[in-house]
Amino acid sequence: MDGTTPPRRGARSRNNPRGQGERLRTDIITTATAMLDVLADDQALSLRAVAREVGIAATSVYLHFADRDALVLATLERCHSDLMRAIEGAETSAGGPAEALRARTLLLGNWAQQHTGLYKVLYESTINQRVEMRFKQDFKDSCVSAVQRCVDAGLAPRGDATAMALDLMAAVHGSVSMRTNRWDTPWPPFAEQLDRFLTGLVGLSAPG
Check residue 33 and give its pLDDT.
Answer: 97
pLDDT > 70? residue 24: yes
Instruction: Specify the pTM.
Output: 0.84
- Is residue 202 helix, strand or coil? helix
d(CA 76, CA 93): 26
Between the CA of residue 36 and those of 9, 12, 40, 116, 125, what are the distances in Å?
10, 16, 5, 10, 11
Residue 184 DSSP class: T
How much is the average pLDDT of 176-181? 90
Cα end-to-end distance, the chain, whole Å:
32
Which range is least confidently modeled, 15-19, 108-112, 185-189? Answer: 15-19
Say what percent of the chain tops pLDDT 90.
78
Per-domain boundaries in the chain:
94-202
pLDDT > 50? residue 16: no
pLDDT > 90? residue 166: yes
Check residue 2 and give its pLDDT.
Answer: 47
pLDDT in tens, 38-95: 999 999 999 999 999 999 999 999 999 999 999 999 999 999 999 999 999 999 999 9
Check residue 208 and give its pLDDT.
Answer: 58
Residue 164 · residue 147 · CB < 8 Å: yes
pLDDT > 90? residue 183: no
Report the alpha-carbon angle 101-102-105, nearest 5: 85
